Amino acid sequence: MRTREKCTGYIRKRLNREIRRRCKNNRNKSKKKKKKNCNNKKKREELLLLLLEEEEEEEEEEEEEEEETEEEKEQEEEEEQEQEQEQEQEQEQEQEKEEEQEQEREQEQEEQEQEEEEEEEEQDDDVHHTVSVQYGSKCFTNTFIFHVSWNMEDGSKFEACFL
């Protein structure tokens, strides 16, 4: 806020310009009135006060505009922060989904491995034999599988041999 005491050369120049302008507007009046209007100390003081008030209003408007721009900037920053938080949440959700999918894949792999192990265990029940027979100068090798026995539901055993 400017006061009378803070009057600078710039303000005085503006005041003098305003006075000259008003004097030019009063050309139709007599010279006495011109001198009276231009040289009147009270009018100069009034003009000076008017100019000071105008400048104070301009400064207030500028301050209000600055405050509004600062508020807008703060709002924009808050919105950006909210967007960043939302993006982080989305990324976390995506990571969780990926982790769940990986866990499901691992479970499926484990199930497949268990099934394969069960099949291998079933195959381990089968006995593999390799027999080599030498007939003269030639050697014949054969591999065959046979099951020793099965337990049936009624308690009886079934024995079979497969080549």
Same domain? For 8 and 78 the reply is yes
What local confidence, expressed as pLDDT, does residue 162 receive? 47
Same domain? For 42 and 78 the reply is yes
Residue-range definition of the domain harbouring residue 43: 4-122
Does 117 fall in a domain? yes
Same domain? For 102 and 138 the reply is no
What local confidence, expressed as pLDDT, does residue 157 receive? 66
Same domain? For 17 and 66 the reply is yes
What local confidence, expressed as pLDDT, does residue 124 receive? 54
Same domain? For 79 and 154 the reply is no
Residue 160 clears pLDDT 90, i.e. is over it: no
Residue 161 clears pLDDT 90, i.e. is over it: no
Tell me: the pLDDT tens digits for 78-111? Answer: 999 999 999 999 999 999 999 999 999 999 999 9
Q: How confident is the model at residue 117 (pLDDT cuts 50, 70, 90)?
A: confident
Same domain? For 114 and 132 the reply is no
Give, in degrees to the nearest 5, the angle at Cα 21 between 15 and 25: 145
What local confidence, expressed as pLDDT, does residue 88 receive? 94
Same domain? For 11 and 90 the reply is yes
Residue 61 clears pLDDT 60, i.e. is over it: yes
Same domain? For 132 and 68 the reply is no
Same domain? For 135 and 117 the reply is no
Number of domain units in the chain: 2
